Each structure stands twice: as structure tokens, then as C-alpha cells.
Amino acid sequence: MNGPERPPEGPSGRRPSRRRGERREDRPETPRSLGRSVDDYLASQGLLGMRTFGEIAVCWAEAVGEDVASHTRPRSLSGTELIVSVDHPGWATQLAFLAGTICDRLADQLGYRAVESLKAHVDARFRLD
């Protein structure tokens, strides 16, 4: 009985698995890290900035110091401009003076320069104390 040809078995004695509709030549040659795969997926969906923003939010207090962090909160990232909520207009002025230093410290924390400028918005509704 001559049936359809079966693919050769792999070193484990099992046939290599394929996803439905996937041809052998469609599979990548080398394995990729999970982080790289996640980055590629987020980039394809236009969401890579969300990951960067999350990293900024995690290291914000350490980058700006506890005093500044107690009156400010990263709100969003638009390209390389970080939008920051502040609880008083005086903190908007303070952030304007500290912008270059904060961008440098964030770059040190992240390992790359994700933020080139800051823009402060007064939002008296939030209090961190």
C-alpha cells in the first residue's frame, strides 16, 4: 500500500511539528529571544512606545528623586517627548529647569535615550502624598 509520503523523522524519533499551513521554508532559521519577539510584535501594532513608557514609569522615582516624584507622574510618551502630570504649576516650572538632567538620568536608567524632552501638564486632581 503506497500512501502519501511522510516527512522524515527528527533526531528524537518524532516528526518535526509544523503549524497549520506553514511550509518548512517559512520557519525561521535561528531561534529568537522572547523579548525580541515581543518588541517586534509591539512595533507591528504601533505599541512599542507603551513598553518604553512602562520602563520609564518603573524607574521614574529613582531618575528624578523622591521629592520631584512626590509631585509628578509620567503620563504618556509621544515619540521622544514625555508628558508629565504635576500637582502644582510651580512643579511645571521646576520640570522645565530640570528637563535636560531628567532626560540624561532616564537614559542612564534605561540604557538608551528614549526621552529628548519633557512637557508638564498641571493636574491638581492627583495627590501622591
Is residue 72 included in any domain, yes or no? Answer: yes
Distance (Å, whole) CA 127 – CA 87: 7
Q: Where are the beta strands (DSSP E) in the chain?
A: 72-78, 81-86, 117-122
**pTM for the full predicted model:** 0.64
In a domain, 98, yes or no: yes
Residues contacting 62, CB < 8 A, separation 6+: 109
How many domains are contained in the chain?
1
* pLDDT tens digits along 51-95: 889 999 999 999 999 999 999 999 999 889 999 999 999 999 999
Q: What mean pLDDT, rounded, does the chain reach?
A: 80
101 within some domain = yes
pLDDT of residue 94: 95
Phi-psi region of 123 (alpha: psi -120 to 50; beta: other; left: phi over 0): beta
pLDDT score, position 75: 94
Give the per-residue pLDDT at 37: 76
Cell of residue 37, nine digits = 519577539
> Per the domain annotation, does 118 fall within a domain?
yes
Domain span at residue 62 reads 47-122
pLDDT at residue 84 in the model: 96
- For residue 39, being part of any structural domain is answered with no
Residue 97's domain is classified under what CATH number? 3.30.300.180
Has residue 113 been placed in a domain? yes
